[in-house]
Amino acid sequence: MKPMSGVAVTKGNTAPGTDDALVVLKNVNKHFGALHVLQDIDLTIRRGEVVVVIGPSGSGKSTLCRAINRLEAIDSGEIAIDGRPLPAEGRELAALRADVGMVFQSFNLFAHKTVLQNVTLGQIKVRKKDKKEAEDRARALLERVGVTTQADKYPAQLSGGQQRVAIARALAMEPKVMLFDEPTSALDPEMINEVLEVMQQLARDGMTMVVVTHEMGFARSAANRVVFMSDGRIVEETTPDEFFTNPRSDRAKDFLSKILHH
Amino acid sequence: MRETVFDFLEGYDLLGAFWVTVQLTLYSAVGSLIWGTLLAAMRASPVPLMRGFGAGYVNVVRNIPLTVIIVFTSLGLFQTLGVSLGADDFGTINFRLAVLGLIAYTSAFVCEALRSGINTVPVGQSEAARAIGLSFPQVLSLIVLPQAFRSVVGPLANVLIALTKNTTVAAAIGVAEAATLMREMIENEAQLILISALFAFGFICLTLPTGLFLGWVSKKVAVRR
């Protein structure tokens, strides 16, 4: 399927494979009751691109992130991943979700399974790998995110490192794109950097990432593009440099003045 | 002295009768656990037809007295419709019909206990499970139900104890379990209080350890969050 050129309004984008659209949202709308949380969202994410979505609370950024793997169903519009439109509920949707990694604000590690089992489950049940192969890969991933020694603990026994385990669990599926829904918002301050470092490394390795976050440092250093949302709309969409030094909209200026100057 | 007090026991197969009670309980427990789990799965499913069936079943069955259900299995299923569940003699037919009735009834309560357990599993657990590409049956069987079961061992113990005592209703269709023998002994013997006390004690011997054991299991398997 031909990627839709002209949908994205990015300027000065340095992302690789400029025409290689991986995630395409077209005219997406979503309501929660009377609240219009996503309004005519058009967004294209290219292979290897790191897109950071920022904006005030209630601006729809988490909903946008969750809509991409259909944890939130949309009311109208189209979402396609790697050229395939998002299927409705069922096996096809499950297969597509396996290709889309998701990291949640509240980790959501499987509470009745050990760290290792958390990382092997999807490989065994969805990717149909044998147990040994899945465990080897899980241990390698846990080492990559720096929680090797915790493999046999249960999530409730971890003091820190949950989010890195959650990242390893998502990576174990060998996803085409990773979605991060405020991955550091529920962390102790000293844990935030560990998680951000793992994410930085992922970005350097060329992973396609959509990151909803309040970490402006991460947006500056790792993002190819910043998407600023407010009241359910994409207000601004540009490079991090441009956004942080020269925001065009008043809404973005206001937002930045609140979070950067105090 | 001792011999004279318990003389009336002679000629009665007390252990045999309680053994039938135990068998009724075990078969019905296993059956209602399976059928109750399926019902709970239906009630949690995204398919409206299944949800409707699950809800309808539970609300109809749990509101019918067990005696009516048990008597229906005999008068309705067997004598009218000729359902004999693969058995030839009346004893076996009635036993199987009683198990069927007890499963049909108890599973409604198992379903509701499990459903309350499902509600204790945070929604993020199933979201994370769906996000790694598990199908609905996998999300339910690998993530949600295992956690739900662990949180409802206590309530399920209640259901099991109630089931043990409910097996006495099988006497209504002549299954030779403890209550049937008790009725027979009360008719033939004079020691009424002693007989009642004996059977009460017998049931306590069955249910008390069940409750204590499952209480211990409940603490042991609880999911830490």
State the ipTM, two decimals. Answer: 0.87
Minimal C-alpha gap between A110 and chain B (Å)? 6
List C-alpha distances in Å: B215 to A191, B151, B208: 38, 11, 11
Statement: residue A262 has pLDDT above 60: no
Interchain CB contact of A125 with B (< 8 Å):
yes
Q: Report strand pairing: A21-32 vs A35-46.
A: antiparallel
Cβ neighbours around A32 below 10 Å, total: 11
Q: Which of B122, B131, B225 sits opposite A102 (nearest CB)?
A: B131
Enter the tokens of residue A204: 């350097």
Instruction: Give the pLDDT band (50/70/90) at residue B3.
Output: low
* Confidence at residue A160, expressed as pLDDT on a 0 to 100 scale: 86
So what's the architecture of B2-123+151-219 in CATH? Answer: Orthogonal Bundle (1.10)
Question: Which residue of chain A comes nearest to B147, CA vs CA?
Answer: A112
Residues of B in contact with A156 (CB under 8 A): 224-225
Alpha helices in A69-209 (DSSP H): 91-98, 115-125, 131-145, 162-171, 189-204
Chain A residues 142-201 within an 8 A CB cutoff of chain B: 154, 156-157, 166, 169-170, 173
Question: Which residue of chain B comes nearest to A69, CA vs CA?
Answer: B131
pLDDT tens for each residue of A155-186: 999 988 999 999 999 999 999 999 999 999 99
Could A109 and B128 be called an inter-chain contact, meaning their C-beta atoms sit closer than 8 Å? yes
For residue A30, the SS3 value is strand
pLDDT tens for each residue of B74-124: 999 888 898 888 888 888 999 999 999 999 999 999 999 999 999 999 999
Stronger pLDDT, A7 or A168, i.e. the higher one = A168
| Cβ pair B24, B98 in contact under 8 A | yes
Q: Any idea what DSSP says for residue A214?
A: S
Write down the mean pLDDT value for chain B: 93
Among candidate residues A225, A227, A228, the one with its CA nearest the CA of residue A251: A228
Instruction: Give the pLDDT band (50/70/90) at residue A5.
Output: very low
Interchain CB contact of B82 with A (< 8 Å):
no
Question: Which residue of chain A comes nearest to B141, CA vs CA?
Answer: A125
Could A108 and B132 be called an inter-chain contact, meaning their C-beta atoms sit closer than 8 Å? no
Could B132 and A112 be called an inter-chain contact, meaning their C-beta atoms sit closer than 8 Å? no
Query: What's the distance, Cα to Cα, between the start and end of chain B in Å?
Result: 59
Interchain CB contact of A98 with B (< 8 Å):
yes
Minimal C-alpha gap between A145 and chain B (Å)? 18
CA count, 13 A, side-chain hemisphere, A161 = 18
Could A156 and B146 be called an inter-chain contact, meaning their C-beta atoms sit closer than 8 Å? no
Q: Which of A98, A110, A112 sits opposite B128 (nearest CB)?
A: A110
The dihedrals phi and psi of A177, each to the nearest 5 degrees, come to -145, 145
Minimal C-alpha gap between A93 and chain B (Å)? 8
Interchain CB contact of B45 with A (< 8 Å):
no
Minimal C-alpha gap between A94 and chain B (Å)? 4
